[in-house]
Amino acid sequence: MAEPAHVIRSDAEALDIAERLAERFAPEAQARDKERRLPRAELDAFSQSGLWGMTVPRAFGGAQVSYATVAQVFATIASADPSIAQIAQNHISAVHFIGLLADAQQKAHFLGRILAGDRFGNASSESGTSHGGRMETRLIRRACDAVIRGRKFYSTGALFARFVTVIALDEQDQAWVAILEQGTPGLTIVDDWDGFGQRTTASGTVIIEDVVVPASRLLPVHLAYEYSAQGAISQITHVGIDAGIARGAVRETIRLLRNLARPWRESGVVRASDDPYVIAQVGDLQIRLLAAEAMMERAGHSLDAAVADPTEQRNTAALVAVAAAKVLTTELALLAANKLFELVGTRATASTLGLDRLWRDARTHTLHDPVRWKVHAIGNHTLNEAPMPRR
């Protein structure tokens, strides 16, 4: 039986622990990716550190850290290993909707389990449907329970979780979350993720075959999107992951320009780091990184305001701020991963360095949801006062 997890007491403590974990996770990140070695020991250290419980409300014993801190924690972990950061993403979303939707008994039970170190995984998205938002998984509600049948993909975290949150539609097409414990009869988790990036997230298939769920394990998650900024809660961690990928790529670019890259022959300099065009490009990356991280922090504080007082105005402000930060961090993650190879040169492609992992992780994670629609949503809201999409 594992010891209970550490309980985070402050934002500063959360940030400090994240830095120490990133130092621990970074050295083997390349090997884990190359061998597709799942980070079980690393995840145990991550959840036992208390960071998976950092957003639990103070009323239930948690630190209820700022969402600016949450984003920074995810950026720090992702700068070392984006796969490990991604596995925790859906868990943080679950903490919020449990705190928002659960009754007193459910909150006491599940938030207590989270503080003790239990992990929540995701079974939301589906593949093979007519569009990304369509869902075939169905829930039939009965007097004291419900029955669920369906098939999920992109189920990040499910393989490593104590509890799996399955989203299904009821007879009125309203979305519910069923909290299923690992090992529940009819629940099968398949490690068939074969993406070329974020290779160790195990974001594969979850099969739900006529699983009976007691009412005490059901939450009306559709209400979270109607009355809160749940969509932005889910997105702020993605913002952090993209910022972390960018941060890691910029850090590697600087290290290799100083220690490995050669100057271009026409530059007239001895070191690549003295090439004026290289210097300007690194300066541009650094400015963009500072701007993206500032937007990320602003988005986190906007979310804090919406969670504290979920008015329509504050929810909308949070949705706009998080969407804007996601656009910037997406663009920067891709740019930084590309610039690494452009500036360092052919030597950077050596398989022994494993730098392709940074580009593959950036390209894979930034496909999570299309930022072109976020740009449109912000423009339509700004110009035509159209409501921001809740999801």
DSSP string, 253-300: HHHHHHHT----GGG--SSGGG-HHHHHHHHHHHHHHHHHHHHHHHHH
Q: What is the pLDDT of residue 278?
A: 97
Which pair of tokens denotes residue 47?
């959840």
Confidence of residue 134 (pLDDT cuts 50, 70, 90): confident
DSSP string, 235-246: HHHHHHHHHHHH
Residue 90 CB neighbours (<10 A): 25
Confidence of residue 128 (pLDDT cuts 50, 70, 90): confident
Amino acid letter, 82: P
Query: pTM of the entire structure?
Result: 0.96
* CA Rg value for the chain: 21
Task: Spell out a b/e string for 167-188, using b for 16 or more CB atoms within 10 Å of the CB, else e.
Answer: bbbbeeeebbbbbbebebeebe
Q: What is the pLDDT of residue 1?
A: 54
Q: What is the pLDDT of residue 11?
A: 98
Which pair of tokens denotes residue 219?
């939450």
Lowest mean pLDDT among 75-84, 100-109, 134-143, 235-244: 134-143
Residues of CATH 2.40.110.10 domain(s) within the chain?
123-220
- In whole angstroms, what is the distance from residue 253 CA to residue 135 CA? 42
DSSP string, 5-21: PP----HHHHHHHHHHH
Judged by phi (left if over 0) then psi (alpha if -120 to 50, else beta), residue 64 lies in left
Mean pLDDT estimate for the chain: 96
What are the residues whose beta carbons fall under 8 Å from the beta carbon of 57, sequence distance 6 or more? 64, 99, 111
The torsion angle over the Cα atoms of residues 82, 6, 235 and 111, rounded to 10 degrees, is: 140
May I ask the CATH architecture of the domain 11-119? Orthogonal Bundle (1.10)
Q: What is the pLDDT of residue 173?
A: 93
Of 132, 85, 60, 385, which Cα lies nearest the Cα of 246?
85
- Write down the CATH number for the domain with range 228-384: 1.20.140.10
- Statement: residue 81 has pLDDT above 70: yes
Q: What is the pLDDT of residue 3?
A: 87
What percent of the chain has pLDDT above 90? 95
User: Is residue 131 classed exposed, middle or buried when 0-12, 13-18 and 19+ CB atoms within 10 A define those classes?
Assistant: exposed
Pairing verdict, β 205-214 and 218-219: unpaired
Residues of CATH 1.10.540.10 domain(s) within the chain?
11-119
What are the residues whose beta carbons fall under 8 Å from the beta carbon of 41, sequence distance 6 or more? none
- In whole angstroms, what is the distance from residue 224 CA to residue 221 CA? 5
Q: Is 204 helix (H, G, I), strand (E, B) or coil?
A: coil
- CA 131 to chain centroid: 22
Q: What is the pLDDT of residue 31?
A: 97
- In whole angstroms, what is the distance from residue 206 CA to residue 348 CA? 38
What percent of the chain has pLDDT above 70? 99
List, for residues 174-228, the tens digit of each pLDDT value: 999 999 999 999 999 999 999 999 999 999 999 999 999 999 999 999 999 988 9
List, for residues 370-379, the tens digit of each pLDDT value: 999 999 999 9
Confidence of residue 356 (pLDDT cuts 50, 70, 90): very high
Which pair of tokens denotes residue 289?
């990184």
Residues of CATH 1.20.140.10 domain(s) within the chain?
228-384
User: Is residue 239 classed exposed, middle or buried when 0-12, 13-18 and 19+ CB atoms within 10 A define those classes?
Assistant: buried
Instruction: Specify the CATH class of 123-220 in words.
Output: mainly beta
Q: Where are the alpha helices (DSSP H) in the chain?
A: 11-25, 29-35, 40-48, 67-80, 82-87, 89-101, 104-116, 222-227, 230-259, 276-308, 312-344, 356-365, 371-384
Averaged pLDDT, 146-173: 96
Averaged pLDDT, 117-136: 88
List, for residues 227-279, the tens digit of each pLDDT value: 899 999 999 999 999 999 999 999 999 999 999 999 999 999 999 999 999 99
List, for residues 289-337, the tens digit of each pLDDT value: 999 999 999 999 999 999 999 999 999 999 999 999 999 999 999 999 9
